[in-house]
Structure 1
Amino acid sequence: MTFEGIIKTVNDYLWGYILIFLLVGTGIYFSIKLRFPQIRQINRGMKQVFGGIFKKGEKADKDGMTSFQALATAIAAQVGTGNLAGVATAIASGGPGAIFWMWISAFFGMSTIFAEAVLAQIYKEKIDGEITGGPAYYISKGAKSKGLAVFFSIAIIIALGFVGNMVQSNSIAAAANRAFGINKIWIGIFTAIVAGMILIGGITRIASFTELVVPFMAVLYIVGSLIIIIINYRQIIPAFRSIFVGAFSPQAIAGGVLGVTIKEAIRYGVSRGLFSNEAGMGSTPHAHAVAKVNHPGEQGLVAMVGVFIDTVVICTMTALVIITTGVYTSGATGPELTQMAFTAGFGKYGNPFIAISLFFFAFSTIIGWYFFGEANIRFLFGKGGIKYYRIIVLLFVVFGSILEVELVWSIADMFNGLMIIPNLIALFILSSKVSESLKDFESKI
């Protein structure tokens, strides 16, 4: 078997079977154990998040970020190519009903990410004078397993910091090349230079960037999507009907054309949803760990809102654009299908709109994923390893812009899958700690 074949086989088992059950199972477990905080406390989380948008003037420093800046950094990483290409793949492979199962995965994922954020807050620490944290810290200090913590750190540095960021820069370069005809290597160099200017400023500049850019890019994409959905307003009710009916009877909708089964609708909806919102993957806790809050429960609620924004809002916008324009039966998939949908809505402006949206989505993901990797470099090597990590990341951004990325995607998927396992083990071991923290938080509010 070839190297590519081995990677594909590992991914088929990891993402096709093992991780879907583990991640959804973890979400169900925490939902029951914590008495469904995604229902009981979502309003409080929304108030905390959207009240924080207007609190300007607070800069991030060595003691961390504001709660909103931490959420913006988390969303910067969550909202990426998965919200465009991932949703399109889910619909192309699992029919419109896959979107229903994407919502279900997000619903249960909200309780998982609550647990991750709470533990990240509880076990954060100061290294070389700066606040940091994440799964490696609660795996080593809470679950008492240095070996699993090191394994997690190595996996996430490879999956997100290096290989994942190659994929993001490739997406930016390919979209810009299609829309504007610019040579990919120049796009890669430009992306690396702009990213470097932000990264060299450390936590202060990263927080300033994310709190400014993330709300802008989200609003830009949502408004653009809503315009197309409103233009096709007669298809809105049929679109929702196809989502709900297709979830349980795919053949009754476009499944007859696409040859989709219920199993495929569930598999692709859940897997793409989890991949998009990253609940349980151990990535976003790095951002939530450095939030300056009065109680870990506060940031847990904020983290839940991040999953809601990523999947229920932004992924749904992409899905409705694809379904209401009717392009999902074309046979296209991935970014090509999303581009077809926006071209159907905006005509010649569709490609530039997607290229600009993709730039913001993918570029902000590069910043977020760099930050997550840096926390693990700090865990493994201390502050001294960061300058070398930063240089390597920027080189990967340049090289990624010109590579064929199918194998790179597969390698990123594999390491993404591998890093989830130690994270979930720690979540289960420390589940009582999460429950105690939530009870304490609710007793004080």
Structure 2
Amino acid sequence: MEKLNDILSLIDSYVGGSQWFVFLLLGTGVFFTIYLKFPQFRYLKHSLRIVRGKFDKEGDEGDTSHFQALTTALSGTVGTGNIAGVALAIHLGGPAALFWMLVTAMLGMTTKFVEVTLSHKYREKASDGSIAGGPMYYMKNRLNMRWLAVIFAIATILSSFGTGSLPQINSISNSLFATWGINKILSGAILAVLLGLVIIGGIKRIAKVTSKLVPAMALIYFVGAFAVILYNYENIIPSFISIFHDVFSGTAAVGGFLGAGFSFAFNRGVNRGLFSNEAGQGSAPIAHAAARAHEPVSEGLVALLEPFIDTIIICSLTGLVLLSSGVWNKKYENRFQAADLEILANPVDQHNAAEIKALRKDMNGLSDNPEFPRFTGNLTVKDGVIQNNLTIIHARSIADHVKVYTRDNEPYNGKIEVDDGKIPELEDYYLEGRSLLHSAPLTTVAFTKSWFGKYGSYIVSIGLLLFAFSTAISWSYYGGRAMTYLFGVHTVIYYRIVYVIGFFLASFVDTTIVWTFSGITIAMMTIPNLIGILLLRKEMKSEVKSFWVEYASRFPGEKVPKG
């Protein structure tokens, strides 16, 4: 698993984790924001009106209403990114990463408006009579780039596992195990059966389920989040300040947090922001293609609301919970994961500011001459205590009070082989100690810092269960539409079977590997989609102008924006 994660991390560093990808994503959002004259601000109130069906016409073609399309797309985006992804971003980049998540969302509102409009315009009817759409259709029907459409469709199928299936059940099973001690395999098996029962019914059943699930899960999560924020009211203003204070300088070491430079916070914030709202990824257009609408721009305006709801509202709430509760830079007792584990050859003084600053540079890849060589050799363990004089890094923090136990929970005695700071396998034993937390476990701890106490963790478990499960439902539809494009409607059933099996298996796979794979598949979808919408920029502007002409004729007394 460790070698696999290293390979995936290397691939991710050249695509989703690279600076050029971040600039392509943000650059596209900036371009369309200026080119279309800030539609995310000017068109927001009209979006709300269209969602309520005020622009509908009798006989509009489609399988779902605007609201159902919105909730289906939201259920695909509101998931582990809002709970685990925000926690991972802050864990890696500090509070400043949340700022870049919000910037990504604001620009993403325009990007999503554009991609949904263009995809909706070129949707088709599948052989079974259902509506099929998504970026692959404008790539084929308008750009005449069938090869690009094929690349996008293949990437969508892979991303349905990397975004919609694997990270979702992985976070659910980890949370249920941490909160209630429920066996991960049991969680995966039960939820896989439920997933299969829902997705077998196609988009109409999916839309009915998500239109009820999304409002319910948002209400539950909001209650728990506000309970934490208000309970720690004295930290609200300092939390806001911390988000903006180190935006361009990076966050210094504080508590157990070793610190993060500007580029690391920027990259992780944008990357996790995209994972959360999926603006530019091309997934939401597949859901919106099924909506009943005669005018593509009207559906684009509905989609404009998604990054606002998903990231600016829900992710901000999660971020404030993590910061106001103070858990993001504190160490907690936990069981170590091999992928988050690194062993330094020499001891590090945690109270030496200069040494910690140097370690920060080393951990963020900013040091030309690393001062902290990784350990290679054997760890000697006696009664569960490591006898070597060295430093153990877990979850990007110096681990304290580390103990080694056998699988029978007895203190371990013997040798442990280490190669270049990594333990190849954690099969016969496991390590426990105090270190930083990340992803869902960090958010779970944060939700206990309120009047609810330990019961706050139940809100995270329930919220994560509903958020992540609904995401898995929606992504099964996205992958199924990609299969329809590539191989025809008759192949979707085989895809769904594999999807459910993968969903089950991911319930007990290492979290870090899942997140790394997810970053790669996101980039594989996003790049061709961004290229496509940039090529169609003039057509997009023309569509917007013609839409406002029709809108003005439908509502003559209402002031409308100029296209």
Matches of 2:486 and 2:305, distance apart in 1: 31
Matches of 1:10 and 1:227, distance apart in 2: 41
| Aligned 8 A contact 1:158 1:412 in 2 | no
Please report how far the alpha carbon of residue 304 of structure 1 lies from its aligned counterpart in structure 2 after TM superposition. 1.1
| Aligned 8 A contact 1:242 1:253 in 2 | no
Taking structure 2 as the reference length, the TM-score comes to 0.74
**SS of equivalent to 2:449:** helix
One-letter amino acid of the structure 2 residue matched with residue 432 of structure 1: K
Please report how far the alpha carbon of residue 406 of structure 1 lies from its aligned counterpart in structure 2 after TM superposition. 3.0
Select between 360-369 and 237-246 the one with higher mean Cα deviation. 237-246
Q: 1:362 to 1:62 in 2, by over 3 A?
A: farther
**Pairwise mapping of residues 34-433 of structure 1 onto structure 2 (< 5 A)?**
34-49=36-51, 51=52, 63-128=62-127, 129-161=129-161, 164-251=164-251, 258-330=258-330, 331-345=436-450, 346-433=452-539
Greater helix percent: which structure? 1
2:11 match = 10
Q: 1:251 to 1:408 in 2, by over 3 A?
A: closer
**SS of equivalent to 1:328:** coil
1:58 match = none
Select between 297-306 and 164-173 the one with higher mean Cα deviation. 164-173
| Aligned 8 A contact 1:119 1:434 in 2 | yes
Q: 1:375 to 1:257 in 2, by over 3 A?
A: closer
Matches of 2:477 and 2:525, distance apart in 1: 16
| Aligned 8 A contact 2:220 2:459 in 1 | no
Please report how far the alpha carbon of residue 308 of structure 1 lies from its aligned counterpart in structure 2 after TM superposition. 0.3
Q: 1:265 to 1:166 in 2, by over 3 A?
A: closer
Deviation string 1:356-386 (CA, Å, 9 cap, x unpaired) is 1110111001001101111111101111001
Identify unmatched segments of 5+ residues in structure 1. Answer: 56-60
**SS of equivalent to 2:294:** coil
| Aligned 8 A contact 1:115 1:427 in 2 | yes
Please report how far the alpha carbon of residue 160 of structure 1 lies from its aligned counterpart in structure 2 after TM superposition. 1.2
Please report how far the alpha carbon of residue 139 of structure 1 lies from its aligned counterpart in structure 2 after TM superposition. 1.2
**SS of equivalent to 2:106:** helix
**SS of equivalent to 2:182:** coil
Please report how far the alpha carbon of residue 290 of structure 1 lies from its aligned counterpart in structure 2 after TM superposition. 1.1
Please report how far the alpha carbon of residue 336 of structure 1 lies from its aligned counterpart in structure 2 after TM superposition. 2.3
| Aligned 8 A contact 2:231 2:449 in 1 | no
| Aligned 8 A contact 1:84 1:335 in 2 | yes
| Aligned 8 A contact 1:76 1:210 in 2 | yes
| Aligned 8 A contact 1:89 1:333 in 2 | yes
Greater length-normalized contact order (CA 8 Å, ≥ 6 residues apart): 1
Matches of 1:396 and 1:100, distance apart in 2: 34
| Aligned 8 A contact 2:282 2:525 in 1 | yes
Please report how far the alpha carbon of residue 292 of structure 1 lies from its aligned counterpart in structure 2 after TM superposition. 0.8
Select between 258-267 and 6-15 the one with higher mean Cα deviation. 258-267
Matches of 1:5 and 1:440, distance apart in 2: 50
Please report how far the alpha carbon of residue 256 of structure 1 lies from its aligned counterpart in structure 2 after TM superposition. 11
Please report how far the alpha carbon of residue 162 of structure 1 lies from its aligned counterpart in structure 2 after TM superposition. 6.7
Matches of 1:368 and 1:420, distance apart in 2: 18
Deviation string 1:205-255 (CA, Å, 9 cap, x unpaired) is 101001010111112111210121111122211211111223234458959
Q: 1:243 to 1:408 in 2, by over 3 A?
A: closer
Please report how far the alpha carbon of residue 40 of structure 1 lies from its aligned counterpart in structure 2 after TM superposition. 0.7
**SS of equivalent to 2:131:** strand
Matches of 1:114 and 1:166, distance apart in 2: 28
- Give the superposed CA RMSD: 2.2
**SS of equivalent to 1:327:** coil
Matches of 1:91 and 1:405, distance apart in 2: 17
| Aligned 8 A contact 2:62 2:293 in 1 | no
Matches of 1:229 and 1:22, distance apart in 2: 35
Matches of 1:371 and 1:38, distance apart in 2: 27
| Aligned 8 A contact 2:61 2:293 in 1 | no
Greater strand percent: which structure? 2
**SS of equivalent to 1:83:** helix
Select between 37-46 and 306-315 the one with higher mean Cα deviation. 37-46
Q: 1:314 to 1:260 in 2, by over 3 A?
A: same
Matches of 2:21 and 2:470, distance apart in 1: 26
One-letter amino acid of the structure 2 residue matched with residue 344 of structure 1: K
Taking structure 1 as the reference length, the TM-score comes to 0.93
Deviation string 1:286-336 (CA, Å, 9 cap, x unpaired) is 011111123111111111101100000000010000111111221322222
Matches of 1:6 and 1:327, distance apart in 2: 31
One-letter amino acid of the structure 1 residue matched with residue 299 of structure 2: Q
How many equivalent residue pairs? Answer: 438
2:417 match = none
**SS of equivalent to 2:448:** helix
Deviation string 1:139-169 (CA, Å, 9 cap, x unpaired) is 1112211111111111110121477412322
Match for 2:546 among 437, 440, 443? 440
Matches of 1:301 and 1:184, distance apart in 2: 40
One-letter amino acid of the structure 2 residue matched with residue 262 of structure 1: F
Matches of 1:164 and 1:211, distance apart in 2: 18
Matches of 2:158 and 2:50, distance apart in 1: 34
Please report how far the alpha carbon of residue 13 of structure 1 lies from its aligned counterpart in structure 2 after TM superposition. 2.3
Matches of 1:186 and 1:257, distance apart in 2: 34
One-letter amino acid of the structure 2 residue matched with residue 326 of structure 1: G
Matches of 2:162 and 2:77, distance apart in 1: 17
Matches of 1:253 and 1:440, distance apart in 2: 53
Q: 1:395 to 1:415 in 2, by over 3 A?
A: same
Q: 1:29 to 1:234 in 2, by over 3 A?
A: same
**SS of equivalent to 1:247:** coil
One-letter amino acid of the structure 1 residue matched with residue 467 of structure 2: F
Select between 420-429 and 244-253 the one with higher mean Cα deviation. 244-253
| Aligned 8 A contact 1:245 1:253 in 2 | no
Q: 1:4 to 1:250 in 2, by over 3 A?
A: closer
Matches of 1:187 and 1:266, distance apart in 2: 35
| Aligned 8 A contact 1:246 1:253 in 2 | no
Matches of 2:307 and 2:299, distance apart in 1: 13
One-letter amino acid of the structure 2 residue matched with residue 374 of structure 1: G
